[in-house]
Amino acid sequence: MPVASAAAAATSAQPAPPPSPPTLLRDEDQAWRELAQAWKLTPGEGDPCQALPREQVRCFSSKISLALIRQLGRPGIVTLDGQSGAPSYALLTALTEGSATLRAGGTEQTVTLAALAARWQGDFSTLWRSPAGYSGRTAEGQGGPVVEWVAARLAAANGTAPLADRPVLDASLRARVRTFQLAQGLPTDGLLGPLTFMQLNRTAGVDEPRLRTEP
C-alpha cells in the first residue's frame, strides 16, 4: 500500500473527537440579557429586570411544567442543576414532543426531554409585554386603560359582547377572566397575573418572540 494511502487509512480509522460540551451561562443576568436580545432589547448594565419595564416588557419567573411552557409558546430561561448550589442557565428556544433546544453563549444543543428533566426542576423565566399604563397588581374595582384593554381582549378571545364602555375589575370581569384561563390551560384564579397577560397578548397577536415547536 502506498505510504499516502496507508496514512489516510490510519487517519480514517481514528475515532472522531468527542463533541465540545455546550456553553452554559453561570450569570443569571447574562441569561436575561440574551433573552432580551431575542426581543430586540438591550437592557444595559445592572439588573435587566429593573431596566426592561421602561420598554413595557417585564420579567416573570416561576416553577412551571413543560405542558404549560408549550401552552405559553414563548422562549425562556431554564435553570439547570438548581439544587447543586452552582446553577447554570440556558435559553429554551424550541420544544418538540421529544426534545428541547437550548442556547447559551453562542452555542446551541438539542437534548431529549429525559436529559432535560435530569437537570431541570421546573424553574422557568421569560419576558412578557405589558399593556400601556400597567404598573403592577390590578386591584378589585379598578378601572382605567389596563382594565379596558383586558376587557376588550377577553371579549375578542371568548367571542362575547364587550362590557360597558368603562369596565372595572369586578365579579363579572373576573368570571370572564376565569373562562379565558380555563380555555388557555392556565390556573383558573380569575386574577390578572403575568400568565394571563401572556395569553391575552398571544390571542391578540401582539408581536412577541415565539417558541419553536418543530424539529
pLDDT in tens, 14-37: 665 555 556 899 999 999 999 999
User: What is residue 45's predicted lDDT score, i.e. its pLDDT?
Assistant: 86
- Is residue 23 assigned to a domain? no
Please give the residue range of the domain that contains residue 167.
Answer: 145-204
Asked if residue 196 and residue 119 are part of one domain, the reply reads no
User: What is residue 7's predicted lDDT score, i.e. its pLDDT?
Assistant: 47
Of the listed ranges 17-21, 77-81, 114-118, the one predicted with least confidence: 17-21
pLDDT in tens, 139-194: 787 788 999 999 999 998 877 777 667 888 999 899 999 999 999 999 999 999 99
Of the listed ranges 124-128, 165-169, 197-201, the one predicted with least confidence: 165-169
User: What is residue 14's predicted lDDT score, i.e. its pLDDT?
Assistant: 64
State what percent of residues in the chain have pLDDT above 70: 88
Residue indicated by cell numbers 420579567? 59
Asked if residue 164 and residue 116 are part of one domain, the reply reads no
- Is residue 213 assigned to a domain? no
Asked if residue 117 and residue 154 are part of one domain, the reply reads no
Q: Which residues pair with 109 in a beta bridge?
A: 102
Q: Return the axis-axis angle of helices 145-158 and 194-204, rounded to nearest 10°.
A: 60
Asked if residue 160 and residue 185 are part of one domain, the reply reads yes
Give pTM, 2 decimals. Answer: 0.85
pLDDT in tens, 86-97: 999 999 999 999
CB 121 within 8 A of CB 82: yes
Structurally, the chain folds into a number of domains equal to 2
pLDDT for 11 beyond 60: no
Instruction: Check residue 25 and report its DSSP letter.
Output: B
Q: What is the CATH number of the domain that holds 177?
A: 1.10.101.10
Long-range Cβ contact pairs of 167-171 (< 8 A, separation 24 or more): 167/143, 168/141, 168/142, 168/143, 169/138, 169/139, 169/140, 169/141, 169/142, 169/143, 170/140, 170/141
Nearest to 176 by CA among 194, 193, 185, 163: 163
Asked if residue 160 and residue 82 are part of one domain, the reply reads no
- Is residue 3 assigned to a domain? no
pLDDT in tens, 42-67: 998 889 999 999 999 999 999 999 99
- Is residue 136 assigned to a domain? no
Q: What is the CATH number of the domain that holds 119?
A: 3.90.70.10
- Is residue 12 assigned to a domain? no
Beta-carbon contacts of 144 under 8 Å, excluding residues fewer than 6 positions away, are: 133
pLDDT for 129 beyond 50: yes
